[in-house]
Chain A
Amino acid sequence: MDSDTLMPELPSDSVGLVAPQTAHFDVPLALACGKTLQSYDLVYETYGKLNASRSNAVLICHALSGHHHAAGYHSREDRKPGWWDAHIGPGKSIDTDRFFVISLNNLGGCHGSTGPCAINPDTGRQWGPDFPMMTVGDWVHSQARLADRLGIERFAAVIGGSLGGMQVLQWSLAYPERIANAVVIAATPKLSAQNIAFNEVARQAIRSDPDFYDGWYAEHDTLPRRGLKLARMVGHITYLSEDAMGSKFGRDLRSDDLNFGYDVEFQVESYLRYQGDTFSTSFDANTYLLMTKALDYFDPAAAHDGDLAAAVAPASCPFLVVSFSTDWRFPPSRSRELVDALIRAGKPVSYVCIDSPHGHDAFLLPETRYQAIFASFMGRVAHDSGLEDS
């Protein structure tokens, strides 16, 4: 990429400078909730080059607070690259020398795709809380339309972690002929009661903030910062393992002595408050609410009396399922649930549990064995898709 010569300070294994694009859709999208989106925008980024036979496309599905900016930098001033830069780039697991990678912001998001912050054409005001509830299935339909727009009939692989992994599973069921390989990382075939409980605490934190105004905070020129901050703090606890928190913060104090007050005393408090504060001004509360609902609703087995093996019957692609040993949000047992169902249904699947101290967040981070497994599988995807080694 010629940006490397322009920006010598960017790492050589980075996709370099990238710019988001917008695709506008005028064909109405019928949603699971019964409503219809008459028109909408999807914001996306691409990395690497689409080959002549259009056989090297890979779709990245994002998690709860993710977005389209998965790799590279928007400007040389960026302090951090995209959220999955550890795994997307030249020579990385998702090798952009081989693959054409598409990463989009899902509908209902707050990073440019149509969502609660967009203008509702029927009313001329922001959608706000009126934005229709989205499901994983709706997202996958919209992603398939983006694929149509980009001329991609079949993805060499659809890949995602956490909520992104659920979208991958949904792809394999809704569009089995359009997905050649599925990579489902740190995900679950459905949320547990405990998962839903944590989501509900987060939602109540937001909805009970006096600045929430039933979702119309923008019209009151304010933001439910306190609620969103609390929601993020709760969420963040579930992303880390007890060990990771212990080794990062322990019982370390900010100052030498106890203050006997309610200001920040322990380092872990400081960390959580910082995470919450940052998030509360950068993420939209209505988006957070609807994304957590999409998580809660996902349960492909529900339509089959809870029989996941029956639910995955339409899938035809090989799966790679990856879990992490200290992930207690979606622990290895939840990935096993999916793997066992795939085995029962006679589907091709490989399963790996990576030893990591980082809890749920491990799926975002680089780790030697994780990368070896991921790269090996993607090497296989390239081979099976008839891609030349670069």
Chain B
Amino acid sequence: MRADLELIHGWIPHGAHILDLGCGDGALLDALARDKNVTGYGLEIDPDGITACIARGVNVIEQNLDQGLANFDDDACDLVIMTQALQALRRPDRMLDEMLRVASECIITFPNFAYWRHRAYLGFKGYMPVSKSLPHAWYDTPNIHLSTFNDFERLCRDKGLIISDRAVGNGDHEGHWSSRWWPNLFGETAIFRVSRGR
């Protein structure tokens, strides 16, 4: 499993009913169902991902996240997860509202644009960064709303949301003191656990 999914796996409580937005091939939901008795649904639009989910017995709904989560009631589940999809949405801020309407808590991961390699790419080379976490060219990237660790924290603050946990997922800096102290600079993937404010 991808490193950020491994970390999230540890955060999910036993028996939770969850929603995984952009669930890909369903690896996370599948592991959570087996290891932690978790139930729920994955939402996906990639045909190969959907087929893979069905083949492994993960409930998957073909649904475009940009159209919202209107088919899910308020507090329909315990937790909403969205890994590596926020940056590809038309309105990430509205999706955050939707996620915290459907559940009181959500876990979000996205590529941190302020990662030092990205900064160096842009700063020294003068080109839009291309990296392991941002593999596309500027003209064909699905990632239309890139943001940084700091940007997301500010959005949560502005919305009055509570960040109960944050972490970074990294290829080469996993667990290194530098990414814990300066996540905005040394974290390649931002991982946030957010809940509704009061």
Q: Which residues of A are at the interface with B, using a C-beta cutoff of 8 A?
A: 318, 320, 336, 339-340, 343-344, 346, 348-353, 369, 372-373, 376-377, 379-380, 383-384
Contacts and interface: CB of A to CB of B under 8 A. Distances in A.
Given A346-B17, A351-B62, A340 B71 contact: yes
Secondary structure dominating the interface of A: helix
A340 B69 CA distance: 11
Contact of A349 (B55, B57, B61, B72): B61
Given A346-B17, A350-B61, A352-B50, A336 B71 contact: yes
Secondary structure dominating the interface of B: mixed
A353 B44 CA distance: 12
Contact of A343 (B41, B54, B56): B41
Contact of A351 (B17, B61, B76): B61
A372 B48 CA distance: 9
B92 interface: no
B54 A376 contact: yes
Interface centre among B56, B57, B60, B76 (most CB of A within 10 A): B57
Contacts, number: 53
B13 interface: no
A343 B61 contact: yes
B59 interface: yes
B55 A380 contact: yes
A343 B40 CA distance: 9
Contacts of B59: 318, 348-350
Nearest to B53: A350
B47 interface: yes
8 contacts: A318-B59, A343-B71, A350-B61, A351-B61, A369-B47, A373-B54, A377-B54, A383-B57
Interface string B143-168: 00000000000000000000000000
Nearest to A372: B51
B140 interface: no
Given A373-B50, A373-B54, 19 more contacts: A336-B71, A339-B71, A343-B71, A343-B76, A346-B39, A350-B54, A350-B58, A350-B60, A351-B60, A351-B62, A352-B54, A369-B47, A369-B51, A372-B51, A376-B51, A380-B55, A380-B56, A380-B57, A384-B57
A339 B63 CA distance: 11
Contact of A376 (B41, B55, B71, B73): B55
Nearest to A351: B61
A324 B71 CA distance: 19
A336 B7 CA distance: 33
Contact of B62 (A344, A346, A353, A377): A353
Contacts of B57: 318, 380, 383-384
A352 B51 CA distance: 9
Contacts of A383: 57
Nearest to A377: B54
A379 B53 CA distance: 12
Given A344-B73, A369-B47, A380 B61 contact: no
Contacts of B50: 350, 352, 373
Contacts of A339: 61, 71
A348 B17 CA distance: 12
Contacts of B60: 350-351
Contacts of A343: 41, 61, 71-72, 76
B14 to A, nearest CB: 17
A240 B60 CA distance: 28
A383 B55 CA distance: 10
A379 B58 CA distance: 13
A363 to B, nearest CB: 16
